[in-house]
Copies of this chain bind each other. A is one copy, B any other.
Amino acid sequence: MAGVSTSTVSNVLNNPDVVSSATRHRVEEAMVQVGYVRNSAARQLRGAPSVIVGCVLLDSANPFFAEVARGMEDRLAEAGCMPIVCSTDIRLGREARYLRMLEELGVRGVLLSPVGSRLDAAVELARRGTPVVLVDHPRAGLPLCAAAVDNMRGGELAVEHLLARGHRRIAFIRCAAEVRTVDDRGEGIRHALRTAGLDIARTLVEVRTPQPAGLDEADRAVDAVLAAVPRPTAIICFNDMAAVGVMRGLRRHSVVVPDEISIVGYDNVIFASQLSPALTTVRQPTHRLGRAAAELLLAEAEPGHRHREIRFTPELVVRASTAVRPDGVG
């Protein structure tokens, strides 16, 4: 020890009030002199909780998840924690690998936007002692916490809006990969159609875009939509990026939006309002979703903790890409 003492230093760091302020100052001074840096590995080995939280998302570069991750980061920072951000690209193998690595790291917990709906790996991980919070996925009775958006409701909102505008022939463009959120939106779409007394087989056209489901793939999916007989008068897209691709595809076919075909996106990315036409879409509270997930995870450390779900409700943002059904169609 530079000053005089030995592991009084430990107390200076962990129980500052137990040390006389004189020696405390002396020790603190010595620490900056020597350039002392705490060693997290040793602390953790000794049993201290890790400050690291794993965030395993489908794709951190996707604007939706990027904002969710930022919400997580902000809440974690308040608690002195930091996120490790991983993208699975909807690949189960990568998810498993990341979960394994995070477990070995002894992270405080994992915020997981799961690939499929077989959550055995997540449940097992939690059972072994690493808390897991599901993000953007319903709790589904599992012994885990979850922060989710009501995607069924999101699908319903889109359909209700289109039905009110007179549309009776609607396409749903979705990604080929099995993603729970997208499935739920599809479920909501069908539910709303049934509720309106419509025959799904005759009103709904589902088109899947190949992976990676980006702008170009959605552009090409337009061909299939336009080939459907009778031709849909409205298209619901599984996210805003796809909606942009669809707009491009329709332009390619010289189909005017919204005069001939209406479009509804999903996510309300920041550019949605500046597209031409401005995109009608479903807004999700991304930042708050991320915060909530982090909140749930941090709460797992508390004594009488019980698993719970925080569920957000999406909102329809009506803009210029949807109009009343053109006469004589559908």
Which residue of chain B lies nearest to A62 when distances are taken between CB atoms in the complex?
B66
Which residue of chain B lies nearest to A247 when distances are taken between CB atoms in the complex?
B274
Q: How far is the CA of A241 from the CA of B63 in the complex (A)?
A: 13
Question: Contact flags (1/0) for A154-175 with B, using CB distance below 8 Å?
Answer: 0000000000000000000000
Most buried by B among A42, A215, A247, A274: A274
How big is the A interface, by class? Answer: 35 or more
Q: How far is the CA of A215 from the CA of B215 in the complex (A)?
A: 23
Instruction: Please state if A38 and B69 are interface contacts (CB–CB under 8 Å).
Output: no
Partner of A101, one of B66, B82, B85: B82
Instruction: Please state if A82 and B86 are interface contacts (CB–CB under 8 Å).
Output: yes
Instruction: Please state if A69 and B41 are interface contacts (CB–CB under 8 Å).
Output: no
Instruction: Please state if B106 and A274 are interface contacts (CB–CB under 8 Å).
Output: no
Chain multiplicity (copies): 2
A279 CB to closest chain B CB (Å) equals 10
Question: Contact flags (1/0) for A34-45 with B, using CB distance below 8 Å?
Answer: 010111111011
A212 CB to closest chain B CB (Å) equals 12
* Cβ-based interface call for A312 (8 A): no
Q: Which residues of B sit under 8 angstroms from A38, Cβ to Cβ?
A: 104
Partner of A60, one of B73, B104, B128: B73
* Cβ-based interface call for A87 (8 A): yes
Q: How far is the CA of A153 from the CA of B40 in the complex (A)?
A: 43
* Cβ-based interface call for A11 (8 A): no
* Cβ-based interface call for A244 (8 A): yes
A269 CB to closest chain B CB (Å) equals 7
In the assembled complex, 10 residue pairs joining A and B whose CB atoms fall closer than 8 Å, in A order, are A37-B128, A40-B41, A60-B70, A61-B66, A70-B87, A83-B85, A84-B84, A248-B274, A275-B276, A276-B276
* Cβ-based interface call for A224 (8 A): no
Which residue of chain B lies nearest to A279 when distances are taken between CB atoms in the complex?
B274
Q: Which residues of B sit under 8 angstroms from A63, Cβ to Cβ?
A: 63, 66
* Cβ-based interface call for A105 (8 A): yes
Instruction: Please state if A82 and B98 are interface contacts (CB–CB under 8 Å).
Output: yes
Instruction: Please state if A73 and B52 are interface contacts (CB–CB under 8 Å).
Output: no
Which residue of chain B lies nearest to A245 when distances are taken between CB atoms in the complex?
B274
Q: Which residues of B sit under 8 angstroms from A309, Cβ to Cβ?
A: none
* Cβ-based interface call for A300 (8 A): no
The A16-66 residues at the B interface (CB cut-off 8 A) are 35, 37-42, 44-45, 51-52, 59-61, 63, 66
* Cβ-based interface call for A136 (8 A): no
Taking A60-B69, A82-B98, A82-B102 as known contacts, 4 extra A-B pairs with beta carbons closer than 8 A to each other, sorted by chain A number, are A41-B42, A66-B66, A82-B101, A244-B274
